Amino acid sequence: MPELKDVRIPLYQQLMEELKAIISTGLYTAGQKIPSESELSTAYNVSRITVRRAIEELCHEGYLTKFQGKGTFVNENRATHKIVHDQTLSFTETCRNNHVTADAHVLGLERVDARGEDRKFFGLEEGEQLFHLTRLRTADGTPVLIENTYFPCKHHEAITPEDVEHVSLIEKIEQTSGRRIARKPAASIEVIKARAEQASLLDVLTGDPLFYVQTYLTDISGKPLAVGYHYIVGRRFMFKLQAGQNASDDEGEPASN
């Protein structure tokens, strides 16, 4: 077994990633009992406290299950634990393709003054407002991302939090506006560290890596519809990016919501 030597990363997190890799490659198969705390401690030259923390986190994430008096076992389907996200699909469709159930829980819906780049994108005047919708998206009940979506109030005056609970926002915007959203939005992706509030909502540790994704959604004629600022749990989500697509293919649903 390799030793855990990266001084920049806590030992329990290094051990977590090592065990995840072993599970993903099939060396530990679904239903198999993993080595004991003592055996892992010896194999990786770390304390049993470190091993115990790593196992607890992996149980929390759904990779492992502990049975009193029997040991710790690999759960089913851990090799596909990450949701693979095709850039052309919505979150709802992505979950469907990964055989998990998407859900959406509204955390807030408010009117805010349009500012900066958002105001420029929508072509709004000073003082015009946007709706700011915040939702927690889950897959089979596991938190995956926090959505922050902005869209013009004047096109969605009657919208309520109940309207966007448990539904695809893409479908709701299309229904409300009567316009079809372009398949591939302009987007940027960077990796950040989870703040305490984000970590609490997403059920991760403060400082864990998140994808921060900004998307600018238009209809198929190029007119602006919505802006998204989303925080995605990196270890639960994988992007599938394709280069060389033709602009003429840009129809359908975008990469979130």
pLDDT tens-digit series, residues 77-125? 543 445 666 655 688 888 888 888 999 999 999 999 999 999 999 999 9
- Report pLDDT for 27: 85
Q: What is the DSSP letter of 194?
A: P
CA atoms in the 13 A half-sphere facing the CB of 58 = 29
Q: Shortest CA distance to 64 belongs to which of 35, 91, 90? A: 35
Q: For the range 40-44, what are the long-range contacts, defined as Cβ-Cβ under 8 Å and sequence gap of 24 or more?
A: 40/15, 43/1, 44/1, 44/2, 44/3, 44/4, 44/15, 44/18
Nearest to 74 by CA among 13, 14, 16, 29: 29
Query: pLDDT class for 183, splitting at 50, 70, 90?
Result: low
- Helix (H) / strand (E) containing 191: strand 186-193
Question: What is the DSSP secondary-structure string of 129-158?
Answer: EEEEEEEEEEETTEEEEEEEEEEEGGG-TT
Predicted confidence band of residue 160 (pLDDT cuts 50, 70, 90): very high
Give the whole-number percent of the chain exceeding pLDDT 90: 46
Cα 28 to Cα 218: distance, rounded to the nearest angstrom: 45
Least confident range from 23-32, 93-102, 238-247: namely 238-247
Lowest mean pLDDT among 66-75, 144-153, 177-186, 198-207: 177-186
Q: What is the mean pLDDT of residues 215-226?
A: 91
Element (H, E) at 42: helix 37-44
The Cα 101–Cα 111 span in angstroms is 30
> What is the enclosing helix (H) or strand (E) of 175?
helix 169-177
Instruction: Read off the pLDDT band of 1 (50, 70, 90).
Output: low
Q: What's residue 40's pLDDT? A: 95
Can you tell me whether residue 113 is helix, strand or coil?
A: strand
Euclidean distance between CA atoms 161 and 181, whole angstroms? 21
Cα–Cα distance, 239 to 82 (Å, whole number): 10
> Any idea which of 152-156, 165-169, 220-224 has the lowest mean pLDDT?
152-156
Q: Give pLDDT, residue 75.
A: 81
The DSSP symbol for 61 reads H
Report the DSSP beta bridge partners of residue 67: 71
What distance in Å separates the CA atoms of residue 90 and residue 7, rounded to the nearest whole number?
38
pLDDT of residue 251: 40
How far is it, in rounded angstroms, from Cα 93 to Cα 230? Answer: 17
